Structures are given as structure tokens and as C-alpha cells.
Structure 1
Amino acid sequence: MIDGLVGGRLFGDAQVRTGQNGKRFVTCKVRAATNDGDTIFVNVIAFDDDVQRGLLALGDADSVALSGALTPKVWTDKNGLVKPAMDMVAHKMLAAYGSRDDEG
């Protein structure tokens, strides 16, 4: 596990989901720019209620910064090119509209 901070723009809208145990969580994608000008997609999942509310208050292309546990991975695009990506379990959030975290 890597603790990290990711800043970027929401790609699409955040979605509410329900786990098999009945617990609610929120998922979204964040599009982040790399130093070389490429883009990396971060697949975000949030279990914390405050972070969930914050993500759901945002819309497509809104700026957001999230901290949490990162897991690097790769995916293959429709042309067969392998590209980097990240999975994140978000614990805290900062957006242009204020901060959201698990400490209230």
C-alpha cells in the first residue's frame, strides 16, 4: 500500500453503490496530469461518509484533491496499448468548495 495525494479533475460523476453487506460507498474516476503531460486515471472508492458527500457534491470536470491508499495497476485501451492507472481508497478530500475529511 502507498499513501498518496492525487489532484485532478473528476471524470464523469461520482456514483453511489451498495456492497453485499448493505454498506454504501461511492466510486468515481479522477483524471490526473503527469509531469510529462500524459494523463493517468485514478479509480477512487470512498467509504467515509464525509468524503462520499463531498464527491457526490461535485460534477464532471470539477477539481478535486484526494488522499488515501494507492495501488498502481495497468489497463489496456481499445487499441491494445497498455497504460498506467491507480486505484485509491480515499480517506480525505479537498475541493474548491471546501475540505471534507473523516475528522468533521
Structure 2
Amino acid sequence: MIDGLIGGKVYGKPAERTGQSGKVFVTAKVRAASGDGESLFVNVIAFDDTAKAALLGLDDGDSVALAGTLTPKVWTDKNGEARPALDMVAHCVLTAYHVQRKRTSVHGSRRGDSTMPDDDFDDRSV
């Protein structure tokens, strides 16, 4: 397994599921841009309550950043070509909502102040 960070857009709607043991988890598919202009699908599963809630708050096309353990995979497309994919067990999910909420809490009523630089934002605690 590889510890990794990925960013991309949610493909479809994340879904809550229950395993045979009764444990609830959330699955999602994220489309991430690769360096060659192609897209790479990341199959995401989350067991952490905070990560599950964040994923369930997203919809098709929403931007997301994820941290977790990655496992490389290969799948075959409609044309029979092998394509790369990744499986991720997400430990942390960051969305535009989290950034906006953090900025609001840090800057309070000054949020709309255009004189405030964006680099005042410290995302390490999100």
C-alpha cells in the first residue's frame, strides 16, 4: 500500500453501504487528471465517520481532495484496453465546503474583504 494524496472530481454520487459484519462505510468514485492529459479513476472507500460524512455531502462533479492508502489496479475499458486505476481507503477528505467554513471561522466578518491575502489561510488543521 502507498500513502497518497489525490485531488479530482466526484464521479457519480457517493453511497453509504453496510458490510456483512454490520459496519457502515461509504464508497465513491473520483476522476483525477493524470500528467498525460488522461483521467484516472480512484475507487474510494471510507470507514472514518468524518470522512464518511464529508463524502456523503458531495455530488457528481464536486471537487474533492483525499488522503489515504492507495492500491494500484488495472481495469479493461469497452474497447478492451487495459487502463490504470487506484483503490483508496480514505482517512481524510477536504472539500470546498471545508475550506470556506475554515476561512469564515478564521477571518470572521472580514471574509469578504478583498484586501486580505489568501495566504493567511492555514489549512493544516482542517
Tell me the TM-score range normalised by the shorter chain: over 0.9
- Name the residue aligned to 2:64: 64
- Name the residue aligned to 2:22: 22
- Name the residue aligned to 2:81: 81
Shift of 1:27: 0.1
Gap regions ≥5 residues in structure 1: none
Report the secondary structure of 1:94's partner residue: strand
Is 1:38 the equivalent of 2:33?
A: no
Report the secondary structure of 2:3's partner residue: strand
Aligned-pair RMSD on alpha carbons? 1.4
Cα distance in 2 between the residues matched to 1:70 and 1:17 = 20
Greater displacement, 90-99 / 4-13: 90-99
Q: Deviations over 1:57-93 (max 9, x none)?
A: 0110000000000000100011100000000000001
Tell me which stretches of 4 or more aligned residues in structure 1 moved more than 3 Å.
none
Partner amino acid for 2:7? G
- Name the residue aligned to 1:90: 90
Report the secondary structure of 1:27's partner residue: strand
Specify which structure has the higher proportion of helix: 2
Specify which structure has the higher proportion of strand: 1
Shift of 1:36: 1.0
Cα distance in 2 between the residues matched to 1:7 and 1:47 = 19
Number of aligned residues = 101
Shift of 1:32: 0.1
Between the two proteins, what is the percent identity of the paired residues? 63
Q: Deviations over 1:24-56 (max 9, x none)?
A: 000000000011110000000000000000000
